[in-house]
């Protein structure tokens, strides 16, 4: 290294040290730890890529566009976290260690907390387009006890790959919640999920395009399951055979969450009904861990 390089490296390190010290008096120890680590890694990143001023401006413009496109229906920063794998890394860091518990995956931006309750065996599609799909299974603990009364929230895109909230007409479809029955059993009608692109008409879409990455997610059904004494489970069922299982734009696929959808040409369905056209069925048990990971 030349003397010039040594002087430049010292100058850079001095900036980092000064910024680190500025957070030394943070009263909350966790916030102090997080800010120190953030500064160390952010500065190391800038040094690593030898960040130019033009590139830094481009990044600021990118974040500004992300802010401008974000509103109550669109959250570009979560999308950015998703495509960078930060959402799934956070899921992995916080995953319960209980062997046998259903694995978690990304929450996504399309959950709505005002979805209607449907009875056990009811219809959460409520007009969403697609092949009728009967979903059933059992909610239980990792030690095998059935969990009755668990609240099961379900949401999904229709066969065109759109969630109800993405339509401008204010519809509510493809979502609902139900409670597991006495033996932990659950069942409902939905539509067979379809693959769809994450919103890619904003800066995150531009980033995907610039890096030759696709915006598609494999077909999936979202679940959030809550039961007293258990950790909330946020997960999906993915449909086996989907062409995008190996290249989910948000890295949410886990092998244990990939399930076969069985296609039936005619009825009767398990609930005795006779769907007019072909229908599908999916069986999937939801296994919850307790708060201490058991
Ligand atoms: C979703 O599955 O709904 C989703 C997840 C992450 C980003 C966009 C959509
Ligand atoms: Fe989704």
Residue spans per domain, the chain:
3-80, 97-288
The pTM for the full model equals: 0.91
CATH architecture assigned to 97-288: Sandwich (2.60)
Task: Read off the tokens for 85.
Answer: 């794998």
CA distance 282 to 159: 16
CA distance 74 to 65: 12
Please give all residues whose CB falls under 5 A of ion ligand 2, grouped by chain where several chains appear.
Answer: 108
pLDDT tens sequence across 108-133: 989 999 999 999 999 999 999 999 99
Whether the per-residue pLDDT at 177 is higher than 70: the answer is: yes
pLDDT tens sequence across 89-103: 999 999 877 889 999
Task: Select the more confidently predicted residue: 65 or 291.
Answer: 65
CA of 184 to the centre of ligand 1 (A): 28
pLDDT attached to residue 1? 64
In order of 87, 228, 286, the CA distances from 283 in angstroms are: 27, 24, 10
CA of 157 to the centre of ligand 1 (A): 10
Mutate which of 66, 80, 82 to test ligand 1's pocket (most atoms within 8 Å of Cβ)?
82
């Amino acid at each position: 290294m030349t003397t010039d390089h040594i002087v430049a490296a010292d100058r850079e390190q001095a900036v980092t040290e000064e910024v680190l010290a500025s957070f030394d008096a943070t009263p909350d120890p966790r916030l102090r730890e997080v800010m120190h680590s953030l500064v160390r890694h952010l500065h190391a990143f800038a040094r690593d890529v030898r960040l130019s001023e033009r590139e830094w401006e481009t990044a600021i413009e990118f974040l500004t566009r992300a802010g401008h496109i974000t509103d109550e229906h669109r959250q570009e920063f979560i999308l950015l976290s998703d495509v960078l794998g930060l959402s799934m890394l956070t899921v992995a860091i916080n995953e319960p260690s209980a062997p046998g518990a259903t694995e978690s995956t990304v929450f996504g931006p399309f959950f709505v907390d005002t979805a209607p309750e449907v009875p056990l065996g009811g219809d959460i599609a409520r007009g969403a387009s697609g092949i009728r799909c009967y979903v059933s299974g059992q909610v239980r603990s990792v030690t095998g006890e059935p969990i009755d009364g668990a609240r099961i929230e379900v949401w999904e895109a229709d066969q065109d790959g759109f969630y109800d909230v993405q339509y401008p007409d204010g519809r509510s479809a493809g979502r609902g919640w139900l409670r597991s029955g006495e033996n932990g059993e659950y069942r409902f009608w939905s539509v067979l999920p379809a693959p769809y692109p994450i919103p890619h008409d904003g800066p995150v879409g531009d980033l995907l395009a610039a890096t030759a990455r696709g915006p598609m997610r494999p077909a999936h059904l979202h679940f959030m399951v809550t039961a007293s004494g258990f950790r909330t489970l946020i997960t999906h069922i993915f449909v086996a055979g989907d062409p995008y299982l190996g290249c989910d734009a948000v890295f949410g696929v886990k092998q244990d969450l990939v399930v076969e959808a069985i296609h039936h040409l005619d009825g009767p369905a398990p609930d005795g009904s006779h769907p007019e056209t072909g229908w599908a069925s999916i069986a999937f048990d939801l296994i919850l861990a307790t708060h201490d990971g058991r």
